[in-house]
Amino acid sequence: MTPKKPPLTHFLCLPITGGQAAPQWQASLRQFRDDVVATKTSNSPLDAKGSSIPVEGIRPLGTLHLTIGVMSLKEPERVERAVDLLKKLDLVDMLKKGKEEPKCVRTPRQASEEPTTATGEPGVSSLLAQPDQSASSPPLILSFTGLKSMHSSTSTSFLYTPPTDTTGRLYPFCLSLKDRFSAAGFMTEEDRALKLHATILNTIYAAKAYPSKTLVQGEDGRLRVAEVEKAGTENAVDGHLTGDEHQDERQGNEPSNQEGTMAEPLSTKSKIQPPEPKRERKGKRKKQVVRFDARDLINHYSAFEWARDVRIEKVAICEMGAKKTKDEKGKVVREEYTEIASIPLP
């Protein structure tokens, strides 16, 4: 019998919305929402009436980050030890040694997927990049351009934008961080290469918004509701048992144009496929994922610049489960992960 995996409670990440980056992300997310959300109609159950993509899947500003790894820190003492490790790291030295490959053990699959670009995508050139070796390491500055899918773009539920680092330090720096936390026994082992990304849309949140219904596409391209068995799983933490951005990450192979330009209005709509219930495990309820054909959308946003010159200001440990803040009328006005500890970057 396979041992039960411990629940995931925290994750190590690089926040990407600090300083001047927040207004850029806000404007880009607003344009993306406007492009994929059509004018409301009376016969659609969605807040985005007439849209081919559930608006609930678009991630809020406060949830954007680059995940380095996930952890199971159930006991307070393990949390304290992980925080202590973070605070003792010499980030300046780690950035300087960005060209040196971390010592963490890799599976054959991971070894074949080492990064080849400075974008955080799989291959080797970023490990060979020559970072600045001056006394004080320059700031880590990133840009985010294009839109990719974690799955086949013909049937996906997860879209993201990759980071670009012209100095080649980002990927090896993150591997080094992952190595330190893995060696200390905090990081959950994964049989796949690190894939740095900022989640733009994940339809698992749309499924949560309509837990007892399925969304299907009519001949007019608009979503309709049909009754199905209630979706979701029990005892989920931040969707890690239901497939949020820390769980539902799979390798994507869509090319992206790295030129930073504004997207033109959409001329076509992506095609929705009915939610597909995953195989039900004993003692668990079915979950469903809304998948859609994102080829037109990905092509449309291939050169779109989400944010440029984003300075990475810190490395942080956050709790799973984005917390929602509501106003006096019960409307969600903010959603973000709780940071329990961080250490500043130069």
Could you give the 3-state DSSP secondary structure of residue 164?
strand
Mean pLDDT of the chain: 74
The C-alpha atoms of residue 88 and residue 257 are separated, in whole angstroms, by 39
Highest mean pLDDT: which of 23-37, 97-111, 158-172? 158-172
Mean pLDDT, residues 80-107: 78
Global pTM value: 0.74
Mean pLDDT, residues 12-28: 97
Q: Predicted confidence band at 205 (pLDDT cuts at 50, 70, 90)?
A: confident
pLDDT at residue 106, as a whole number: 47
Q: Which has the minimum average pLDDT: 112-121, 144-153, 175-184, 337-346?
A: 112-121
Are residues 25 and 88 in contact, defined by beta-carbon separation less than 8 angstroms?
no
Indicate if the pLDDT at residue 320 is higher than 70. Answer: yes
The C-alpha atoms of residue 64 and residue 221 are separated, in whole angstroms, by 30
Highest mean pLDDT: which of 109-113, 116-120, 141-145, 287-291? 141-145
Mean pLDDT, residues 33-62: 62
The C-alpha atoms of residue 294 and residue 48 are separated, in whole angstroms, by 17
| 326 vs 210 pLDDT, higher one | 326
Q: Predicted confidence band at 147 (pLDDT cuts at 50, 70, 90)?
A: very high
Q: Which has the minimum average pLDDT: 142-146, 152-156, 243-247?
A: 243-247
Strands (E), 205-287: 213-217, 223-227, 271-277
pLDDT at residue 169, as a whole number: 96
The C-alpha atoms of residue 318 and residue 205 are separated, in whole angstroms, by 20
How many C-beta atoms surround the C-beta of residue 263 within 10 A?
A: 17
What is the largest distance, in Å, between two alpha-carbon atoms of the chain? 63
Phi, psi of 218 (to 5 degrees): -85, 180
Highest mean pLDDT: which of 42-46, 107-111, 141-145, 267-271? 141-145
Closest CA to 100 of 120, 140, 121, 127: 127
Mean pLDDT, residues 161-168: 96
Are residues 50 and 39 in contact, defined by beta-carbon separation less than 8 angstroms?
yes
The C-alpha atoms of residue 51 and residue 284 are separated, in whole angstroms, by 31
Indicate if the pLDDT at residue 238 is higher than 80. Answer: no
Return all residues near 72 (Cβ < 8 A) that are at least 6 apart.
6, 7, 8, 9, 10, 188
Are residues 24 and 307 in contact, defined by beta-carbon separation less than 8 angstroms?
yes
pLDDT tens for 112-136 read 444 445 555 544 334 334 444 445 6
Please give the C-alpha separations between residue 83 and each of 45, 210, 318, in angstroms, as whole numbers: 44, 37, 10
